[in-house]
Amino acid sequence: MSKISVLGAGTWGTALAIELANKGQQVTLWSAVEREIAALAADRTHVTNLPGATLPASIRLTTDLADACDDEEILVCAVASPYVRETAAKMKKYVHEGQIIVNVSKGIEEKTLLTMTQIIGEEIPGARLAVLSGPSHAEEVSRNIPTAVVVGAEDPEVAKIVQEAFFADMFRVYTSDDVLGIELGGSLKNVIALAAGMVDGLEYGDNTKAALMTRGIAEISRLGAKMGGKESTFYGLSGIGDLIVTCTSNHSRNHNAGFLIGQGKTTEEALAEVGQVVEGVNCAKAALALGKKYKVCLPIVEEINDVLFHGESVRDSVMDLLRRNPTEEYQGTKR
């Protein structure tokens, strides 16, 4: 049995805490948000997003970060991406040698263009880091639906420890050494999910969405490989796997926000209606900046930025994509 703390008691943090506790791990679930912990303590479930999934009695709840980081072997960082840096900065004084930090948050910081694991590494130098990602809706993991994910770490021993910690009958965990590729795939797919939601909102058909998803992964792999990720990672669980699950499911806030925009709502109206952090919106700006920085052509990312921030209609954006110069399908990582 391992001692594991999950930091962030939102939908994903709670689902992972349940998965780990059901496997027999000794789990502590922490949140900076007191009312989240109070609600979980009272109901032993996440009433709004995971109704029906009961927290095993063994899960300890706390709002005390020192306590949560105390003698745990693994710390899982599951706060939403805008809070990763401040949470890591607060954790720094409690993290001690040998502890492993597993990032499960997805996003790219707009100001620095860093991924979440890079941010944690910057705030906690020398930390033993890993990332866990893949097609894994919290709603389904908490119901113990067969799921497969990948854990990436530069140190293969760290990847192995995390794989063993999470691996369960219904939760298959692969390993990889491509931390950057895993994180870029998991973050950039949220931008494509917004686009998929938009074309669903416009009531275009399956052809349109399949084209968008396929060209979307082409953009992600082109940029990701130029940045140093492995092209094969983008065709794995954390790349195309996560893209498929996010673009085709109504569990996805990114898809839902895109859907509302496709139906004619403004970005602000759509975000207000979804009511939670829609990470693809922040990531769209970061992706555009990365495309410029690395000189990679990202037509879908550019159009999504025009729709989200410059008032272009989704219909015009789709036409812009269709009317681009005819080209070869596979352009490698050159452009």
Residue numbers annotated as active site = 189
Contact by Cβ (8 Å): 234, 222:
no
In the complex, the smallest distance separating the C-beta of residue 212 from ligand NAD, rounded to whole angstroms, is 20
CB-closest chain residue to ligand NAD = 10
**3-state class of 35 per DSSP?**
helix
Tokens of 249: 């499911």
Site string for ligand NAD, 181-220 (x = CB under 6 A): ----------------------------------------
- Nearest to residue 54, comparing CAs of 7, 5, 105, 17? 17
Stretch that binds ligand NAD, among 100-108, 160-168, 198-206, 323-331 (CB under 6 A): 100-108
The residue from 2, 28, 105, 282 that contacts ligand NAD (CB under 6 A) is 105
Closer residue to ligand NAD (CB): 87 or 256: 87
Size of site (CB under 6 A) for ligand NAD: 26
CA distance 258 to 246: 12
Least distance from ligand NAD to the Cβ atom of residue 326, Å = 36
Which two tokens mark 113?
């263009």
What H or E segment, with its residue span, contains residue 138? Answer: helix 138-141
For 23-128, where are the alpha helices, taking DSSP H only?
Answer: 34-43, 65-69, 84-91, 116-123
Name 93's Cβ contacts closer than 8 Å, sequence gap at least 6. none
Binding mask 3-32 for ligand NAD (x = CB under 6 A): -----xxxxxx-----------------xx
Identified binder of ligand NAD from the candidate list 85, 137, 222, 255, rule CB under 6 A? 137
Write down the least CB distance from residue 89 to ligand NAD, Å.
11
Per-residue contact string for residues 35-74; x = within reach of ligand NAD by CB under 6 A: -x--------------------------------------
173 vs 302: CA distance, rounded Å: 34
Nearer to ligand NAD, 13 or 152 (CB): 13
Q: Which tokens hold the place of 190?
A: 């949220």
3-state secondary structure of 233: helix
- Residue 137 corresponds to which tokens in the numbers above? 């809706």
Give the C-alpha distances (Å, rounded to integers) separating 290 from 61, 224, 260: 39, 10, 27
Sole binder of ligand NAD in the list 17, 79, 150, 243 (CB under 6 A): 79
Closer of 136 and 317 to ligand NAD (Cβ): 136
Interface residues toward ligand NAD, by CB under 6 A: 8-13, 31-33, 36, 78-81, 83, 87, 104-107, 136-138, 276-277, 279
